[in-house]
A and B are shown apart, each in its own frame.
Chain A
Amino acid sequence: MIRVGTLFWLVLVSTTAFAMFGVKFQVQALEDELARINKTTANDEHEIRVLDAEWAYLTRPETLSAMSRQFLSLVPISTKQLRTTVADIPIRPPPPAPLPPVAPSAPAETQTVVALTEPAPVMPGAPPSGHDGVPLLGPAATKMEAEPRQTKSALSVMPALLEKTSSTPQQAKVAQGRAAVRPSPPHRAKSLDDLIAQIMASR
């Protein structure tokens, strides 16, 4: 007859053995995984080195300059362009006094002013994405939408905007001025810092 004590020790020994081997195999598996990961890391590191070299080769100044000549119509910045500093740019004059809202059939110009003073009003019949989707095009988009029969998407508005703004320089300047500061500031910027703060707050 097996005594209780013997049974107890037998169970204890076998439990311990099972536990020990279990842990051992677990550790082995982990070590295998670690070795595998280390190997992958070394491989990846080597691949990164190759890619770095590749990148450096593909972005040689020679190559970039040749590509820039071929694909971009950019020329080196002239000294004249650089002489103007941020401090030299005048603060934009305050927007004209807000006009009372008018009917949708009113001229486009009036609509734009309204759009500037009251940020993103939803025009009747205009797709709502025109305001939220393309923030910089906001005023122009509004302008286009305000015209009857115009239900273009924001993307198709872009060439039309360019056409529009480049028609007369005066008009272009005005449109640019509007596009730069939007939505219209709640009060006139007193300094450049103030202006920047406003722009940051509006984002």
Chain B
Amino acid sequence: MTIAAQAFDDNPCRPRHFRPPPCAPVIPEGPARRALEGCRTRLFFTSVMFACVFAVVALRVIEVVFFESGTAQSHMPRLRVPAPPIPARADIVDRNGRLLATTLDSPSLYANPKQILDAADATHKLVRAFPDLDAAEIYVKLTSGKSFVYIKRHLTPREQYEVNLLGIPGVQFQHEERRVYPDGTLTAHVVGYAGIDNTGFAGIERGLDTALKDRREPLQLSLDLRIQYVLREELQRVIDDFTAKGGAGLIMDVNTGEVLSMVSLPDFDPNHPGAADPDHPALSFADRMFNRDTLGVYELGSIFKIFTVAMALDAGTSTLASTYDATHPINIGRFTISDYHGKHRVLNVPEILMYSSNIGAAKMAVTAGGQRQREFLARLGLLKAPRIEVSEAAAPHFPVKWREVNVMTIAFGHGISVTPLSFASAAAALVNGGVLRPATLLKLLPGQVPQGQQVLSPKTSEQMRKLMRLVVEHGTGTMAAAPGYVVGGKTGTADKVSGSHYVERKLLSSFVAAFPINAPKYLVLTMVDEPHPNKQSHGYATGGWTAAPAASRIIQRIAPLLGVQPVDEASPEIQQALAVETLQGRRVENY
């Protein structure tokens, strides 16, 4: 009893002013006692469970405070840092990191006509801020009762500021992005352009549309803007000089297949693709959009002879000493194959290329055979569409039935139409030791050389280099010489097809050059569409008079940019490296 009373008195939870009654507490007996005992047990268990849970909490607090607190840095990852808004499309830069295309915020101005208080006043203010807007049209829009009307899309920051100054209620900005091409026309055909809703419509923008949308870091092209500028300027000069219809140019690294420059003229401004060219308002949109390098297929003419000669030399059906009679024109079917300013005598292989003899080339091809010719061209990738990053790539045109007349005409580049890009890749393989590498517009890593395909023997390639050097030294391409840079090349002058027959007056003049030809690094292809003779060219508009001098000027301007060291062309080493064995000791007759 006393124990119980004592316990009652010691209860810490008892009210302070409550004293236990002086009498001993009544200890219940029987069922009441059992109930009390049970109650006590339940309380005990409950309190133990609470104690356990609180102990866990306490332990956790101790752990967090003393063992897991760490430094501020360890808590950084848990922070929700709002990432800067990702631009809708990645930038495009050239091989030196120079910006070619970028995406900028350009908010669009819209109105909620339901919130416009005074439509007439708002119209007046807006038209004063943007004089190009039509007041009547804006007024109709603002009173239309819709809840969203565009007033003007893609504002400049200054315009946005001015609209804010107007303070018209109900006029708001919508976040939008816009593609900007700082270099305008310069890279128009390569980079292409994206539409108002940032979808690629042409060039790289279309060809690599998804890639550009997915990536954040800039896309680096193999293009070099400086070289692009030189090529475009020189091509434009040739076009102006010879009042040509258009032109195309390509500069390629022969050892990697990287395209350093690609120009097609006439061109367009990707910032305003639909706008007419102020200088040539007559040119159609389609004409200016047309990429002659990858989408145009042309009968390139005599520059194709390098493939004929390489094919014959590689197959062993001709050697450098082989001779072919080019005295008389060849009559086959309704065609007559004759030489332009022919020598009318027996020519050896170097001479056929130097003087660009159609007869000789045709005879060489016939000796080698059509099957072999077709296989060789297929191996060089000339019988299929080029693989390139821009969306525009055209398949070549060639005869399905490869008859003898086709063999002859294809030997000098007629009867087969290929894109200048395909031609350049194949020509690069011809001079670089015989390895065909796919052309690319994306920059390769330094030292990275893509897997190529050996399409002709290194020996044939070396012979071709020597022959191409001869063309520039003594043949039809003397105007392509760039002193110090050891240019080798081949001229081409093709009659253009109009309907079903060739037109004499309409030419396609071209020149393919590689330099330095003793160890080729770069290939330059220039093509002029329908040049007309001028006074300086003495009535000629052939490749040797139009495209070749352009190639010379281009090489002299780009070589220092590309770090090609000029050499003394008369030095014994160079002469030795480029000497054609079969011509040694013989005086080479100039064209």
Contact = CB atoms under 8 A, between A and B. Distances in A.
Interface of A: 34-35, 38, 41-42, 45-46, 49-50, 52-57, 60-62, 65, 76-77, 79, 82-83, 85
A79 B483 contact: yes
Contacts of A76: 556-557, 560
B553 to A, nearest CB: 10
A82 B560 contact: yes
A61 B566 contact: no
A82 B566 CA distance: 7
A61 B225 CA distance: 8
B482 interface: yes
Given A62-B229, A79-B482, A79-B556, A56 B566 contact: no
Contacts, number: 67
Contacts of A65: 229
B81 interface: yes
Nearest to B157: A50
B104 interface: yes
Contacts of B99: 52-53, 55-56
Given A56-B183, A61-B186, A62-B229, A79 B82 contact: no
A144 B568 CA distance: 44
Question: Interface SS of chain A: helix, strand, loop or mixed?
Answer: helix
Given A42-B85, A60-B184, A83 B229 contact: no
Contacts of A77: 560
Given A53-B99, A60-B184, A79-B484, A85 B565 contact: yes
A53 B483 CA distance: 39
A60 B185 CA distance: 11
Interface in B205-234: 225-226, 228-229
A56 B81 contact: no
A34 B81 contact: yes
Given A60-B183, A61-B225, A61-B229, A79 B485 contact: yes
Instruction: Report, nearest first, the 8 A-B pairs whose CB atoms are least far apart.
Output: A61-B229, A56-B182, A79-B484, A56-B99, A57-B182, A42-B84, A79-B566, A83-B566
Contacts of B228: 61
Nearest to A1: B16
A56 B557 contact: no
Contacts of B84: 38, 41-42, 45
A53 B180 contact: yes
A5 to B, nearest CB: 11
B152 to A, nearest CB: 19
A35 B82 contact: yes
A41 B85 CA distance: 11
Contacts of A49: 87, 102-104
Given A46-B104, A50-B157, 12 more contacts: A53-B99, A53-B182, A55-B99, A56-B98, A76-B556, A76-B557, A79-B483, A82-B484, A82-B560, A82-B565, A83-B484, A83-B566
B321 to A, nearest CB: 35
B277 interface: no
Contacts of B102: 49, 52-53, 56
A65 B232 CA distance: 13
A82 B157 CA distance: 47
Contacts of A60: 182-184, 186
Contacts of B389: none
A76 B186 CA distance: 21
A186 B99 CA distance: 49
A83 B566 CA distance: 6
Interface string B538-557: 00000000000000000011
B282 interface: no
Nearest to B106: A50
Contacts of B81: 34, 38
A83 B568 contact: yes
B183 A34 contact: no
B176 interface: no
A57 B156 CA distance: 15
B82 A53 contact: no
Contacts of B225: 61
B286 interface: no
Contacts of B183: 56-57, 60-61
Given A53-B102, A53-B182, A34 B484 contact: no
Contacts of B229: 61-62, 65
B105 interface: yes
A34 B78 CA distance: 14
Among A38, A41, A53, A54, chain B packs the most CB atoms within 10 A around the CB of: A53
B79 interface: yes
Contact of B104 (A50, A55, A61): A50
B104 A53 contact: yes
Contact of A38 (B82, B484, B567, B568): B82
A76 B555 CA distance: 13
A122 to B, nearest CB: 45
Interface in B494-508: none
Contacts of B568: 83
Interface string B85-122: 10100000000001110111100000000000000000
20 contacts: A35-B82, A45-B84, A46-B105, A49-B103, A50-B104, A50-B157, A52-B102, A56-B98, A56-B99, A57-B182, A57-B183, A60-B184, A60-B186, A61-B226, A76-B557, A76-B560, A77-B560, A79-B482, A79-B484, A83-B566
Interface string B557-578: 1001000011110000000000
Interface in B136-163: 157
Contacts of A54: 182
A190 B81 CA distance: 62
A83 B568 CA distance: 8
A106 to B, nearest CB: 47
A82 B557 CA distance: 12
A142 to B, nearest CB: 38
B549 to A, nearest CB: 16
Contacts of A82: 484, 560, 565-566
Nearest to A38: B82
Contacts of B485: 79
A76 B226 CA distance: 13
Contacts of B567: 83
Nearest to A85: B565
Nearest to B156: A50
Contacts of A83: 484, 566-568
